[in-house]
Amino acid sequence: MQASIKILKKIGKYLQPLFFLSPYLTLFAIFFIFPFIYGILISFFNWDLFMPENTEFVKFGNYIKILFDNESIFYEYFWSGLKNTLLFVVISVPLLVIIPLFFSLLFDLEPPGYRIFRIILFMPTVFSISAVILIWKWQFYNNGGFLNSVLVKMGFEEVPFLLEQPWAWISILVVTIWWTMGINMVILGAGLKNIHKTLYEAASIDGASYLQTLRHIIIPALAPQMLIVVITTIIASFNIYGQPDLLTNGGPEFSTTVLMMRIRQLAIGINARPGIATAMSLCLGIIMITVSLIQAKVIKRIGDD
């Protein structure tokens, strides 16, 4: 009898955490695990939203269409959208790390009024994408836009910020940096506060310059925060959607039409192809995971060195 009671107590000890976690696990299963598995299943079907009886099992047909069948329009959608997405990732991620790092290093010196400027730089992160685009689109307009009005008054010609390349990408990049860099700045700033001041004093006594201190003390010490910042920034950049959709509408000539825009167009609507859309989503997810793992290894190696 006592042995049975002990066994029940041990079982209860292990089940107790699950009991408290059950609400979260239930919601996690409903809103993540089930949709994820369901999405994988859909990617193997020619899914018809309006006439489910016409749904056809095509095995890997959707993946073949987007990855290898260059005669398929979905092949063009996927690779052109991925190319534009990768272009944005390549140009945005370094800037979204370097610029917040610069301001974090500057504010760590605690110059006069640094708290106010830190709040000002962080404020845009609380805005929705719609509000951000509403603010910036007026700045970039050709007729009556603030920036072009200033340029004309200074004697320069108007710049087609939203109508020609490379200005369209530059506009998207400026908006993205202004909107999102505050979070990275706060994370890196918190990491700088954890660096013991004696390390700076030792470097100063040894005659190290600021650049040497940055290379051999600050950057290695910030490795954990840099890992978080780089991975989250890469994931956010791969998932870019609102900026090109609302700012340039994918133009000019589809040059800013990123993969997430193609996925959304194919996922819903009259001519929806959910099977193709989910196949594209899964391929994009695999690419994001691969790139994140590589980045994590590189940053860990830098921190160890």
Has residue 108 been placed in a domain? yes
Is residue 216, in this structure, part of any structural domain at all?
A: yes
Residue 292 located in a structural domain: yes
Query: In the chain, how many domains are there?
Result: 1
In a domain, 140, yes or no: yes
Residues of the chain with pLDDT under 50: none
pLDDT at res. 216: 82
Is 6 contained in some domain?
Answer: no
In tens, the pLDDT along 206-258 reads 788 888 888 888 888 888 888 889 889 999 999 999 999 999 999 899 999 99
For residue 24, what pLDDT is reported?
A: 81
pLDDT score at 247: 92
pLDDT value for 256: 94
- Residue 62: the pLDDT is 92
CA atoms of 74 and 47, how far apart (whole Å): 15
User: Is 64 within a domain?
Assistant: no
Residues 6+ apart with CB under 8 A from 106: 114
Q: CA 228 to CA 249: how far, in whole Å?
A: 31
The rounded distance, in Å, linking the Cα atoms of 297 and 300 is 5
Could you tell me if residue 300 is inside a domain?
yes
CA 218/CA 199 separation, integer angstroms: 9
Contact 222, 299 (CB under 8 A): no
Tell me, what CATH number does 93's domain have?
Answer: 1.10.3720.10
Angle formed at CA 61 by CA 57 and CA 67, multiple of 5 degrees: 155
293 is in which domain, residue-wise? 71-304
Q: What angle do CA 7, 13, 18 make, to 5 degrees?
A: 125
Spell out a b/e string for 206-217, using b for 16 or more CB atoms within 10 Å of the CB, else e: eebeeeebeeeb
* Assigned domain for 25 exists: no
- Residue 225's nearest CA partner among 301, 131, 299 is 299
Measured distance CA(93)–CA(159) in Å, rounded: 25
Q: What per-residue confidence (pLDDT) applies to 176? A: 95
